[in-house]
Amino acid sequence: MARWFINAISAGKGRSTVDSESRRASSKASDARRRFDYAKRERDLDKKLSYLAEGLSSLAASLEHVSNTTPPIANVAFASSLLAKDLGNALEEQTKDIVKELKS
């Protein structure tokens, strides 16, 4: 039970960051797509190049937000692996001791 609780806390902290960065990445990707569509329909070469440059800039920002999701996911995976291997047994023993004390 304690292991599940600590895993849940760790996952919850990472999830908010990942969700936020994912929304930003989706927004920037949509903006890039919109700019590329504008460029496709534009006849004026200067405006077309401007739209393409803006689209590439938005696409780069989208990729940056996607890459920002990696550290929180890695942190959750690391915490989970620690709990499963090193701390798992200690937490289980502590839980058993608490249950014994509560029963007596």
pLDDT of residue 83: 65
pLDDT at 76: 73
Quote the pLDDT of residue 47.
96
What string of DSSP letters covers 38-76? Answer: HHHH--SHHHHHHHHHHHHHHHHHHHHHHHTTHHHHHHH
- Quick: pLDDT tens for 13-56: 677 788 888 899 999 999 999 999 999 999 999 999 999 999 99
Q: Residue 96: how many CB atoms within 10 A of its CB?
A: 10
Geometric angle at alpha carbon 24, from 72 and 69, rounded to 5°: 15
Contact present, 48 and 42 (Cβ < 8 Å): yes
**pTM to 2 decimal places:** 0.62
Question: So what's the pLDDT on residue 85?
Answer: 63
Q: What are the tens digits of pLDDT across the range 57-101? A: 999 999 999 988 888 777 777 777 666 666 667 777 788 888 888
CB 93 within 8 A of CB 74: no
